Structure 1
Amino acid sequence: MSKPTKTEAELVAMARAELQVHADCPDGIAIAVLPDGDSWEFRTEADAPTKAKPGYPECVAMIVQIGDHLSKQYDVKG
């Protein structure tokens, strides 16, 4: 049985909503969906000042965790 599909924008919005609940992340973190074989994962990007802010590494780790559980629930629309 296949998983429901979401667009990249929908998946990123879901991740951002979950981040607001769990973490106090600095602004300026870009999230993208990277296809990975039959699955996908989140990739983050930020400028140097954002990366230097407190909590940045924890937020990236949280985004990876969110992507891991969302990728088990949803496929990304190609």
Structure 2
Amino acid sequence: MKKPAKTREELESAIRMEMEDICEWPTDLAISVAPHEDSWKVVIMTEGPQDAERCDMIETIADRLRSQFDLKA
């Protein structure tokens, strides 16, 4: 069965909204959703050192969303 598809912007927004429910979103952190093989991945960009705990939370959210949604072409 095919999963529903969302745009990059919709997936990025969903990740941000879930993270904001958990903790404050840092101003120096940006995420981007990119196609990866037959699915998608989240790319985390920051101006300073990466917060490993926050990155792990983002990856966990992305993993769950990846199992629910495909990336709309």
Fold match by TM threshold 0.5 = yes
1:73 and 2:68 equivalent? yes
Shift in alpha-carbon separation, 1:62–1:18, aligned structure 2, 3 A: same
Deviation per residue, 1:34-69 (Å, 9 max, x gap): 222111111100112xx37xxx22111111111100
Residue of structure 1 equivalent to 2:55: 60
TM-score, with length taken from structure 2 = 0.88
Residue of structure 1 equivalent to 2:15: 15
Tell me if the contact between 1:25 and 1:59 (Cα under 8 Å) persists in the aligned partners: no
Task: Give the RMSD, CA atoms, in angstroms.
Answer: 1.4
> What does 1:29-68 correspond to in 2, within 5 Å?
29-48=29-48, 51=49, 56-68=51-63
Residue type of the alignment partner of 1:62: M
> What does 1:1-12 correspond to in 2, within 5 Å?
1-12=1-12
Q: Which moved more, 1:10-19 or 1:28-37?
A: 28-37
Tell me if the contact between 1:29 and 1:45 (Cα under 8 Å) persists in the aligned partners: yes
User: Aligned residue pairs: how many?
Assistant: 73
- Name the one with the larger strand percent: 2
TM-score, with length taken from structure 1 = 0.83
Unaligned stretches of 5+ residues in structure 1: none
Unaligned stretches of 5+ residues in structure 2: none
Tell me if the contact between 2:4 and 2:69 (Cα under 8 Å) persists in the aligned partners: yes
